[in-house]
């Protein structure tokens, strides 16, 4: 075999590997990680795998067009998943008098531990929120304290008219009840009912739903925070092992990452099923918001989004990534809307005050036109 034939054979083999990887990643949402874990890892990497197939497609079109059919086929088969990661040319529709705006934002404890290295970050977050016109704010990783050495987040938000009514629940309470960590929904409209969905809280995961009177209609808002993989704590070790070419350390990092990802996939799948039961039992139209810690190619997203409209897919533009931490370009924060409502607009905010970007959607009470 000459050099040219060897190169061609190698490229074709790689092409087949990436094509199979794309099929696995695009089908990961159908497979419960507790039954078969393997596809979930590919689902997490769907976007880069898809882009690699696009590059290979373009390469084959120039070198050997008949081989491009492989990539054309797998891209076509995975297109419904592509649309959940990439959107272009969506145009917002004019909201009517019955419209309202909802925001979802993982505020990372309002920079309590000063991760950003900026003492003013907390105040910048509060200033940003006070400037928004959202009617309902759904916060994950919410922190509130009556301790003098910290700050009373809730009172400040109410003072800034971010909301007038509150539904808050906590997974951790410290300092004799003075410091609380959890989740909160703030509304400018009347809250009629508050309830917590009981999840495994070993990793501080939590979900709530809140019945809010919007105009003359009652809507049920779900605010959820699914299991995290807690990789940010490994960042220093990973960088150190890469810089020093410590192969043993890199292997250990890879094992820890794999184990944590696997645990996260399984936990989120179980949590999503519990929340899904609550969604299906709702007597009111639902809006599901929160930090899923999983991508649109995941089983958890598939369970939670079934029968609902993804506001980004309908009105978003661009990649739509919401996570700006150790592994950027991931869309893991969502606003899912009942089909009896209309999504007029959606935006992923260009705000970098947390490791998540806020997302906002304008929604009308009227049913979408056919």
**Sheet holding 136-145: strands in order across?**
165-174, 179-187, 136-145, 99-106, 359-364, 342-348
For residue 175, being part of any structural domain is answered with: yes
Task: Report the number of distinct structural domains present in the chain.
Answer: 2
For residue 94, being part of any structural domain is answered with: no
Q: What is the 3-state secondary structure (H, E, C) of the chain?
A: CCHHHHHHHHHHHHHHHHHHHHHHHHHHHHCCCCCCCHHHHHHHCHHHHHHHHHHHHHHHHHHCHHHHHHHHHHHHHCHHHHCCCCECCCCCCCCCCCEEEEEEEECHHHHCCCCCCCCCHHHHHHHHHHHCCCCEEEEEEEEEECCCCCCCHHHHHHHCCCCCEEEEEEEEEECCCCEEEEEEEEECCCEEEEEEECCCCCCCCEEEEEEEEECCEEEEEEEEECCCCCCHHHHHHHHHHHHCCCHHHHHHHHHHHHHHHHHHHHHHHHHHHHHHHHHHCCCCCEEEEEECCCCCCCHHHHHHHCCCEEHHHHHCCECCCCECCCCCCECCEEEEECCCCEEEEEEECCCCCCCECCEEEEEECCCCCC
For residue 92, being part of any structural domain is answered with: no
Last residue of a domain, one of 82, 108, 141: 82
**What is the Rg, in whole angstroms, of the alpha carbon atoms belonging to the chain?**
22
For residue 157, being part of any structural domain is answered with: yes
Asked if 253 and 356 sit in the same domain, the reply is yes
Q: How many angstroms separate the first and last alpha carbons of the chain?
A: 60
Last residue of a domain, one of 82, 109, 127: 82
Asked if 57 and 192 sit in the same domain, the reply is no
Asked if 160 and 196 sit in the same domain, the reply is yes
For residue 217, being part of any structural domain is answered with: yes
Asked if 147 and 284 sit in the same domain, the reply is yes
Asked if 115 and 260 sit in the same domain, the reply is yes
Number of neighbours of residue 245 by Cβ within 10 angstroms? 8
pTM of the model: 0.93
Residue span of the structural domain in which 225 resides:
99-364
pLDDT at 8: 78
For residue 340, being part of any structural domain is answered with: yes
For residue 304, being part of any structural domain is answered with: yes
For residue 88, being part of any structural domain is answered with: no
State the CATH number of the domain containing residue 120. Answer: 3.60.10.10
pLDDT at 97: 82
Asked if 21 and 158 sit in the same domain, the reply is no
Last residue of a domain, one of 82, 110, 132: 82
Asked if 77 and 108 sit in the same domain, the reply is no
Asked if 76 and 161 sit in the same domain, the reply is no
Residue-wise pLDDT tens digits, 65-89:
999 999 999 999 999 999 999 999 9
Asked if 188 and 67 sit in the same domain, the reply is no
Asked if 69 and 198 sit in the same domain, the reply is no
pLDDT at 242: 74
pLDDT by 10-residue block (mean), the chain, 370 residues: 74 94 98 98 96 95 92 97 94 88 96 70 90 95 83 88 95 83 96 94 83 97 92 68 78 88 96 98 98 97 98 96 85 97 96 95 84
Cα distance between residue 295 and residue 132, in whole Å = 26
pLDDT at 370: 57
Asked if 266 and 357 sit in the same domain, the reply is yes
Asked if 75 and 104 sit in the same domain, the reply is no
């Amino acid at each position: 075999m000459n050099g040219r034939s060897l190169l061609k054979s190698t490229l074709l083999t790689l092409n087949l590997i990436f094509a199979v990887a794309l099929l696995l990643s695009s089908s990961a949402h159908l497979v419960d990680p507790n039954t078969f874990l393997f596809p979930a890892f590919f689902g997490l990497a769907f976007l880069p795998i898809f882009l690699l197939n696009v590059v290979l497609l373009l390469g084959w079109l120039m070198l050997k067009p008949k081989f491009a059919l492989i990539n054309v086929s797998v891209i076509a088969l995975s297109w419904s998943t592509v649309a959940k990661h990439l959107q272009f040319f969506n145009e917002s529709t004019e909201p009517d008098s019955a419209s309202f705006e909802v925001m979802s934002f993982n505020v990372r404890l309002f920079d309590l531990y000063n991760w950003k290295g900026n003492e003013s970050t907390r105040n910048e977050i509060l200033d940003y929120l006070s400037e928004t016109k959202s009617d309902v704010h759904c916060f994950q990783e919410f922190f509130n304290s009556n301790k003098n050495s910290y700050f009373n987040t809730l009172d400040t938000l109410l003072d800034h008219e971010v909301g007038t009514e509150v539904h808050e629940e906590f997974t951790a309470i410290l300092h004799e009840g003075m410091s609380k960590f959890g989740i909160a929904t703030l509304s400018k409209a009347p809250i009629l009912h508050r309830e917590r969905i009981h999840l495994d809280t070993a990793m501080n995961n939590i979900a709530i739903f809140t019945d809010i009177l919007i105009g003359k209609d009652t809507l049920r808002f779900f605010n959820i925070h699914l299991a995290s993989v807690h990789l940010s704590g490994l960042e220093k070790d990973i960088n150190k092992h890469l810089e020093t070419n410590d192969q043993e350390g890199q292997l250990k990092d890879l094992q820890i990452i794999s184990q944590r990802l696997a645990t996260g996939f399984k936990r989120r799948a179980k949590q999503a099923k519990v929340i899904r039961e609550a969604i299906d039992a709702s007597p009111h139209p639902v809006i599901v918001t929160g930090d899923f810690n999983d991508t649109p190619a995941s089983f958890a997203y598939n369970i939670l989004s079934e029968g609902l409209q993804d506001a980004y897919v309908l009105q978003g533009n661009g990649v739509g990534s919401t996570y700006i931490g150790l592994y950027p370009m991931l869309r893991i924060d969502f606003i899912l809307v009942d089909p009896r409502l209309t999504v007029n607009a959606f935006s992923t905010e260009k705000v970098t005050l947390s490791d998540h970007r806020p997302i906002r959607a304008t929604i009308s009470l009227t049913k979408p036109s056919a």
